[in-house]
Amino acid sequence: MLGYLMTYPFIKLFGEVGAYIFSFLGLILGAVLIFNTTLYDSIKKGQAVTGTVQSKLSDFRDKNNELKETAFQEKERHQMLDELSQPSAGKKLGFTQDKKEDSGHSPRIGKGNPSKKDESFEEEEKLKLPSFLAGYGSSGQKSDGTRPKKNRFNIQVAGKGDVKTDPDQDPDNHNPITVPYLESWNKVRDEKNPRIAPSGSMDSSEQEETTKRGGEPNDSVEGRKEEQQIGDEMGRVFVNREEAKAAEEEARDSMTEQEFQEFRKSKLAQTDKPHSEKGKQVAMDEEEEEKPRPEYQYPGVALLKENMRGMMDDDDHHEILENARLLQDTLSNFGVEAQVIDVSKGPSVTRYELQLKAGTKVSKVTNLSDDIALALAAIGVRIEAPIPGKAAVGIEIPNRETVPVFLREVIDSDRFNQSTHKLAMGLGKNISGDIIIGDITKFPHVLIAGATGSGKSVCINSLIVSMLYKYTPEEVRLIMIDPKMVELSVYNGIPHLLVPVVTDPKKAAGALNWAVNEMTRRYDLFNDHTVRNIEGYNALHEKGKIKEKLPYIVIIVDELADLMMVAAGEVENYIARLAQMARAAGMHLVIATQRPSVDVITGVIKANIPSRISFAVSSYVDSKTILDQGGAEKLLGKGDMLYSPMGARKPKRIQGAFISEEEVEAIVSHIKVKEAEVEYDEAIIEHIEKGASGAHLIDEEPDELTDEAIRIVLEYNQASTSFLQRRMRIGYNRAARIMDELEHRGVISGPDGAKPRNVLWTTDDMI
């Protein structure tokens, strides 16, 4: 049909002959295509049929081999029965077989001449075959030529075993298995399973103790599994102690005492010989072993959300070109000749790198930030002049749409997983789109500040989750202080915590005091072992020279301002001591605050905490307080930060990693499910509780003016730090310590916000 339809156009184009030629070629081509398709389908079907046949043939061979193996095992079993019913000459047996006319051997075979009448042999002739062997010939058949019914044997390592017969047989009609069969079984058993104690190897006291622990000896799940494994492996019957004892008592009745002792030594030695204690009571030993502590199960990245949006599209490319043109025109209007030489688009801002004309002052560009923002209709234009390591000026302009950086991108990156940092934390991405990983041990302490909603708490969550993904509780332990009581309480129950999250500001001072004492203890250990830091001490542990391994301790304070309001003196002193000395001891501070004022971030704290992370703040003064320079007031919020680690000349602009509250809860729930119940250090909790009042945290002895202060408070019926300062003419810190002492003794009530403290004592109480 197709050829017919194409004929007329071909006639018009190529003439009548050409049309027929092209039509003929088209038919040939169609036939070839159809034939190739048909042939290909046939080959595929043939291959599928061949594969099915080969699969079925392989299954048939496997089943055939299993049947052959089963038949071979049955044959071996019957051969064993034949050997027991017709033992070889020269081997003394403990039973005789009934005489038969067609048998070609003597009915009794033993030491010496069997024709000689001996009393022991006459008595031995009375011993009958076991019930399951009596009446069978050398081929294992009954006298009527039929095969016997197969018996199933109850195989046990210890305890009572028996021979299970068919249901129609009498279960009580079980004669004891005699000595040759016992000897054969014990020999095979000891060769196959040298660790398993023989049946009845436990004495009566051991059996009684085992019965108290729960049932018959070896009556446990582990024991039954062990017994089943032995039975499957050996495929032979097992003789228990009671059957052997029955055979022994029957032999005692038919022999003299001397003959019985020789008989017992030669034939029953294996049943009475004590085996190694290692194999005794296998199931009970396994139960008595302490269960090892389960290994820490790292949470999977599937618990974190994935970012599905790319960094740049066509609209972004057009926006970048337009901004570059406007930027050059704006600078040119103010007499600054510059050319855009490079553009770096980050998650929240885009940096335009400009090369200035020779002789142009950099200050002329930095003073034009507001004019550039006006020309580009942008908010928060930041100028970095010059860019560290480059002969260019960077102008950072906010993107029209911020692309969030999810923590999963950081956790799942090769840079984080292959990091060699001792305490790695995922920060986020820089302007170039590179993932930034911080090392807490190199900070060694960090101050995080920013206004409410700028991303400070999210940064702390990212820091904590990063450690949960990378380190076990044996490597890192945490102390969390959260006066707001809502930010960090979700982490209660994770194994990394030394104590539950501390929410009381007074107890927070006690927790910091414990950290100071722990730092001192660690330095004493370093001195005793002649090492300088925690790395050297733990290296001794890896060499096996010491047992204790010291974990790193990270102390996280979510809101420093609340602690400074309640116990400014104590908190400042503890933070100063830890910041000065705790680095070598493996203890690090992470302090966050949303009020970066000088009364919170004091000069002492700033001097001892070299690393800073600043989120968006409201003023240049706040930025100066945190970073000692401006810039943080122009940040955009929502994770936009300036990161200034120790030793950095200028802070780096980073878009912080984002993790939602739902993700944090999912990760913590996963860890709690995988871990056993967390046991906190009671000694630390007790120390914190004792120091909750704030008294005796620095000086063990009470202040000598305490009694005078009590008299003044009772006389005027009021108490405050400023009141004691005026009446006693002392400084603020000393008055605050006396107030803590009065609260500890119960003279006055605790702080209640802006309300004055209540005086609880009377003059009679003082007497």
CA dihedral 119, 121, 123, 124 (to 10 degrees): 160
Examine the pLDDT at 63 and tell me if it is beyond 90. Answer: no
Q: How confident is the model over 259-270, as a mean pLDDT?
A: 50
Q: Highest mean pLDDT range out of 69-83, 132-146, 500-514, 526-540?
A: 526-540
Mapped to the 3 state alphabet, what secondary structure does 20-88 carry? HHHHHHHHHHHHHHHHHHHHHHHHHHHHHHHHHHHHHHHHHHHHHHHHHHHHHHHHHHHHHHHHHHCCC
Asked if residue 8 has pLDDT above 80, the reply is: no
Considering the chain, tell me which residue range(s) the CATH 3.40.50.300 domain(s) occupy.
405-687
- CATH 1.10.10.10 residue spans of the chain: 699-766
In words, the CATH class of domain 405-687 is: alpha beta
Please indicate whether residue 7 or residue 713 has the higher confidence score (pLDDT): 713
Provide the pLDDT for residue 61.
81
For the beta carbon of residue 443, count every other beta carbon within 10 angstroms.
Answer: 22
Residue 36 banded pLDDT, cuts 50, 70, 90: low
pLDDT digits (tens, 9 = 90+) for 337-366: 999 999 999 999 999 999 999 888 998 998
- Contact in structure between 426 and 416 (CB atoms under 8 Å): yes
The predicted structure's pLDDT at residue 385: 86
- For the stretch 159-172, pLDDT in tens is 444 444 444 444 44
Q: Examine residue 176 and say whether the peptide bond preceding it is cis (omega within 30 degrees of 0).
A: no
More confident residue, 264 or 298: 298
Percentages helix, strand, coil for the chain, rounded to the nearest 5?
A: 50, 10, 40
Query: Model confidence over 229-254: pLDDT tens digits?
Result: 444 444 444 445 555 556 556 655 55
Higher pLDDT pick, 130 / 547: 547
φ, ψ for residue 460 (rounded to 5)? Answer: -65, -40
- Six-digit token string for 145: 């030529």
Give the pLDDT band of residue 663 (cuts 50, 70, 90).
Answer: very high
Q: What is the pLDDT of residues 136-157, one digit of tens each?
A: 444 444 444 444 444 433 333 3
Bridge partners (DSSP) listed for residue 605: none
Summarised one tens digit per residue, pLDDT across range 271-300 is: 444 444 434 343 334 444 445 567 888 999
Give the pLDDT of residue 271. Answer: 40
Task: Give 423-470 pLDDT, tens digit per residue.
Answer: 999 999 999 889 999 999 999 999 999 998 899 999 999 999 999 999
Are 201 and 274 in contact by the 8 Å Cβ rule? The answer is yes
| pLDDT tens readout for residues 96-150 | 444 444 444 444 434 444 444 444 444 444 444 444 444 444 444 444 444 444 4
31: confidence class by pLDDT, cuts 50, 70, 90: confident
Amino acid at 749: S
**Beta bridge pairs of residue 338:** 356
Structural domain 699-766, CATH architecture: Orthogonal Bundle (1.10)
Fold of 303-398: Threonyl-tRNA Synthetase; Chain A, domain 2 (3.30.980)
So what's the pLDDT on residue 607? 87
Query: Within 10 A of 262 (CB to CB), how many other CB atoms are there?
Result: 12
pLDDT at 246: 60
- What average pLDDT is seen over the chain? 75
Query: CA–CA separation, 680 vs 747, rounded Å?
Result: 33
Residue 267 has pLDDT above 90, yes or no: no
3 state SS of 631 = coil
Classify 384 as helix, strand or coil: strand
Transcribe 396-439 into DSSP letters. EEE-SS---EEHHHHHTSHHHHT---SSEEEEEEETTS-EEEEE
184 vs 84: CA distance, rounded Å: 9
Q: What is the pLDDT of residue 30?
A: 75
| End-to-end CA gap in the chain | 124
**Residue 692: helix, strand or coil by DSSP?**
coil
Decide: 594 and 453 in contact? Cβ < 8 Å. no
Amino acid found at 685:
I
Residues in the chain: 767
Of all residues in the chain, the percent with pLDDT exceeding 70 is: 65
* Nearest partner of 462 among 422, 420, 421, 410, judged by Cα: 410
Residue 644: predicted pLDDT: 94
Position with higher pLDDT, 52 vs 248: 52
pLDDT tens digits, one per residue of 373-418: 998 888 889 999 888 888 899 999 998 888 899 999 999 999 999 9
Q: Is the pLDDT of residue 73 over 50?
A: yes
pLDDT at 319: 86
More confident of the two residues 197 and 308: 308
Q: Which pLDDT does position 263 carry in this prediction?
A: 53
pLDDT reported for residue 673: 87
278 φ/ψ angles, rounded to the nearest 5 degrees: -65, -30
DSSP string, 650-661: SPEEEEEEE--H
Quickly count: other Cβ atoms within 10 Å of residue 109's Cβ: 17
- Decide: 682 and 557 in contact? Cβ < 8 Å: no
Distance of CA 656 to the CA centre of its chain: 26
Banded model confidence at residue 471, pLDDT cuts 50, 70, 90: very high
pLDDT single digits (tens) 511-525? 999 999 999 999 999
**Residue 167 pLDDT:** 42
8 A C-beta contact, residue 553 and residue 586: yes
**Amino acid identity, residue 136?**
Y
Residues 81/86/90/92 CA torsion (nearest 10 deg): 60
Q: Where in the chain is CATH 3.30.980.40?
A: 303-398
User: Which of helix, strand or coil describes residue 652?
Assistant: strand
Which residues are paired to 614 by β-bridges?
449, 642
163-222 pLDDT tens trace: 444 444 444 444 444 444 445 545 545 554 444 444 444 444 444 444 444 444 444 444
Kindly state the average pLDDT of the residues 579-593: 95
**What pLDDT was estimated at residue 712?**
92
As a whole-number percent, the residues of the chain with pLDDT over 90 amount to 36
Crossing angle, helix 179-192 and helix 2-85, to 10 degrees?
A: 130
Which phi and psi (to 5°) does residue 690 adopt?
-65, -35
